[in-house]
Amino acid sequence: MKLLALLPLILLSAFGQDSTSHPPAGADTTAASNRAAAYKPISAKERLKWFTVSTVGPVSLVAAGPLSAGLGTMLNRPKEYDTHWEGFGKRYGMRLTGVSTGNAIEDALGAIWGEDPRYFPSPKRGFGTRTKYVMRSSFIAPYRDGSWHPAYARFLGNMGNNFLSNTWRVRSENGAGDAALRCAWGFTADLAGNAFSEFWPDVKRKLFHSKRH
């Protein structure tokens, strides 16, 4: 039922952009230009793909979901779910409804004012430079003209999801303080996701390269 309620937001995001645009070639957040390099605005098809992959893609379903549900089950939070497999399933499902809600809000609102939800790898090398880029990219996003601005849709998606989900969460985690804490964890998860997107391709290349020798 929660996913059905999100369909209007998803459809809005899908048709909120010009479908003739093409994928970006990269991004550059240097102070001199403050514009993404060779940037092409996100298309309707790309928005729908971002929502789908971010919500039910392999990383979300196979990695982040089980990790979050497993940690909650180990710590027995919330306590109403207990520490059995049924509780694990409830925690997994609760995370999924929250992620789908937040992504739908971010995608739909971003479509209205042209905020791009995708992550673009750093155009510069160096661990320190790329780490700073990852952190900065957690709070800003490119808009239709390629310039970078605060990621308002992302912020609203995070806060909207966590406060809205109080209406269907169990008693021990549906307070304002609980929602605020989940917002903080949401920003941390965004940061971790950006770091994974930035550095994992390099790690994967080195791992597979070493195995071939």
pLDDT digits (tens), the chain, 213 positions? 444 444 444 444 443 443 333 334 344 444 334 665 678 999 999 999 999 999 999 999 999 999 999 999 999 999 999 999 999 999 999 999 999 999 999 999 999 999 999 999 999 999 999 999 999 999 999 999 999 999 999 999 999 999 999 999 999 999 999 999 999 999 999 999 999 999 999 998 888 875 555
How big is the chain, counted in residues?
A: 213
Three-state secondary structure readout of 32-76: CCCECCCCCCCCHHHHHHHHHHHHHCHHHHHHHHHHHHHHHHHHC
For the stretch 81-118, what's the b/e string if a residue is b when 16 or more beta carbons lie within 10 angstroms of its beta carbon?
Answer: beeeeebbebbbebbbbbbbbbbbbbbbbbbeebbbbb
Q: Which of 152, 205, 196 is nearest to 58 (CA)?
A: 196
Measure the CA angle with vertex 39, ends 26 and 42; round to 5°: 105
Domain boundaries, the chain: 2-13+43-211
Reported as type and span, the H/E element at residue 141 is strand 140-142
**Contact 149/140 with Cβ under 8 angstroms?**
yes
The tokens for 41 are: 């605005």
Asked whether the whole model's pTM tops 0.85, one would answer no
